[in-house]
Chain A
């Protein structure tokens, strides 16, 4: 029996090609931390663009860029379920074409969604779920307690909080996808609510809570101390109530906060460039964060389109990225480097030149605070396990846990 819950592995994560359709740039909400600076109601993907994109991708089955065992077809927005009819048609076409072509991805595909959850119980979405159930990953974003959620996740016209309209769909979602995780994004104003929010999400029956601080340069003086305090309170609650047995939170990771070697641990953090994003006009991007609606200061990094195909020169920088080349000396020498994440899109947007090789360090002090709280958590947890006689079992169960970056 495992006494500590581990995070679910993302389906075939390493071997799967990730292809994202930006089906709409519209959303019912106007979340205050949303990185999509250029959201709008006009840019909806027409069917012929979606079809041409699928045809292009499947026609290039032998291209190294698509030579993956599996595929994750990702649908994002805005809010993807606003375009459920289009999505349904796309998914039907993909299934038919994979079968017709006897493609390696037939039966090795996933449809993945990140939704605000507002339309989740609608007939159309539910019918879609029934039809594709065995191939679905759906994440609903709920940020925590009502006051925390409504601090950011508000309707775009009225400014009203969306919590009540989302939380009512959580039981159905958990019933349908018991292993689902939720994604929580922390910005400066959210810090005081971290502790209560994670516990609240556990209380709703969500067993896995993945939290990230935003990568943008939003942090105020003192935010790191507040953050550390919140995480330590959370650590106390998780340990005292033995929630670690059934729940997990991405804030606490045993392999975080160690120095990293520039030869052996030089991997890039994210998959930009290995992924492919397609927008309503049929343009291709190395990741959605490089589309114009996601960028503040830079021009979109378009790597091709459905008519001309991919310009491979434009993805060479992404496919040659390593950790140390893009990091400043302070990051290379950092004693607590492991687990310090970055977003290639934000790095690009914030860079002084047109490059993906300049890593932003806006998150540095938050990472260091997280490392301190994380150390506290593990020291306290191990002591408790020791006293409870469960330490050996725990260590045996976790021997295979891989480092956060390799």
Chain B
């Protein structure tokens, strides 16, 4: 069920997830479009998440933006594209590369004491190689040691790729096109901002071939949402993910379509990364329990890193 409406206020709104925003020219959403978008959100009962550009918006936008409950990404939730030690915040997003995550693991661990929740998002998950498994494990254990120490001293540090799995009892993925939808400044809907960027960059359209160009929109504010094959965005139509227990995994459908060409099929890279995180969460869980701290339902030991290797065969 749709729950969130992500509104990109400008073409240069910050990237906050896997995909880079390659758009450099400002294109501010019109007041009229914004008004309609907010109305859509109200009528569909959606929680609104505004995504901010780096520049200050004209004054007349504030009143409209504040007319409804919302979250401000790039504002309330800060987005960092490099490891930084200079901030203190509630929730922050760190967008990093696999290589930086590994090489700057101690700096990233240090960030944990400055935020209540750190969301780590890999900008280049597709480049992850199996040869990096041990290094990634090591970086996760560095983070894990920090979480353990902080929690021992009663600081409820959270980091999505480690602690989310401790509390989840079922899949909690990105949900693009299923639990959330993105509205771009042009008044059209996209499964997530990444699909909008791809359209603007004219990247070959592998999502919606019945449209002539690289267009990837799934409806607009005038005609409403028209998501083709919506069932394929749901967990029960994803043969690998539905048998998986890396519950915290983003299950990024943008990466899916980019790497496997099918929205419901994850890449090897995405699965391996999520399982290394899942297994690191398991170790952390045992350590937390050992010192008498609450760590959620037991995460079972498994002997695979990619559900593809244990897929149902008919």
Q: Give residues in A with beta carbon < 8 Å to B.
A: 266-268, 297-299, 301, 312-314, 316-317, 319-323, 325, 351-358, 406
Contacts and interface: CB of A to CB of B under 8 A. Distances in A.
A267 B208 CA distance: 27
B314 to A, nearest CB: 4
B229 A301 contact: no
Nearest to A315: B260
A299 B232 CA distance: 20
Interface in B235-279: 237, 239-240, 257, 259-269
A352 B210 contact: yes
Given A266-B314, A316-B308, A319-B311, A355 B268 contact: no
A352 B267 contact: no
A406 B266 CA distance: 26
Given A319-B308, A320-B311, A357 B206 contact: no
Given A322-B314, A353-B228, A355-B229, A316 B260 contact: yes
A353 B263 CA distance: 9
B239 A320 contact: yes
Given A299-B204, A321-B239, A322-B239, A356 B262 contact: yes
B240 A320 contact: yes
A317 B206 contact: no
B75 interface: no
Contacts of A351: 229
A322 to B, nearest CB: 6
B312 interface: yes
Contacts of B239: 320-322, 325
Contacts of B268: 312-313, 316
Q: Is the interface of A mostly helix, strand, loop or mixed?
A: loop
Contact of B232 (A321, A322, A358, A406): A358
Contacts of A355: 229, 232, 262-264
B240 A299 contact: no
B295 interface: no
Interface of B: 204, 206-210, 228-229, 232, 237, 239-240, 257, 259-269, 308, 311-312, 314
A353 B209 contact: yes
B276 to A, nearest CB: 18
The binding surface of chain B is classed by DSSP as loop
Given A323-B314, A355-B229, 16 more contacts: A267-B314, A298-B209, A313-B268, A314-B260, A316-B265, A320-B311, A322-B239, A352-B208, A353-B209, A353-B232, A354-B208, A354-B257, A354-B261, A357-B232, A358-B229, A358-B232
A314 B261 CA distance: 7
24 contacts: A266-B312, A266-B314, A298-B209, A299-B204, A312-B268, A314-B261, A316-B240, A316-B266, A317-B264, A317-B265, A319-B311, A320-B311, A321-B239, A322-B239, A322-B312, A352-B208, A352-B228, A353-B209, A353-B229, A354-B208, A354-B209, A354-B261, A355-B232, A356-B262
Nearest to A329: B231
B264 A357 contact: yes
Instruction: Pick from B260, B261, B264 the residue with the most CB of A within 10 Å.
Output: B261
> Which of A354, A358, A406 neighbours the largest number of chain B CB atoms within 10 Å of its CB?
A354
A353 B208 contact: yes
A299 B314 contact: no
B311 A317 contact: no
B223 to A, nearest CB: 16
Nearest first, the 5 closest Cβ-Cβ pairs linking A and B are: A267-B314, A317-B262, A320-B239, A352-B228, A317-B265
Contacts of A313: 259-260, 267-269
A406 B208 CA distance: 32
A354 B207 contact: yes
Given A298-B209, A299-B206, A316-B267, A357 B261 contact: no
Contacts of A406: 314
A355 B229 CA distance: 9
A352 B205 CA distance: 13
Given A353-B232, A355-B262, A297 B209 contact: yes
Contact of A268 (B240, B257, B269, B314): B314
A63 to B, nearest CB: 14
Nearest to A351: B229
Contacts of B312: 266, 322
Contacts of B314: 266-268, 322-323, 406
Contacts of A297: 209-210
Contact of A320 (B228, B269, B308): B308
Contacts of A357: 229, 232, 237, 262, 264
A31 B262 CA distance: 32
A153 B265 CA distance: 40
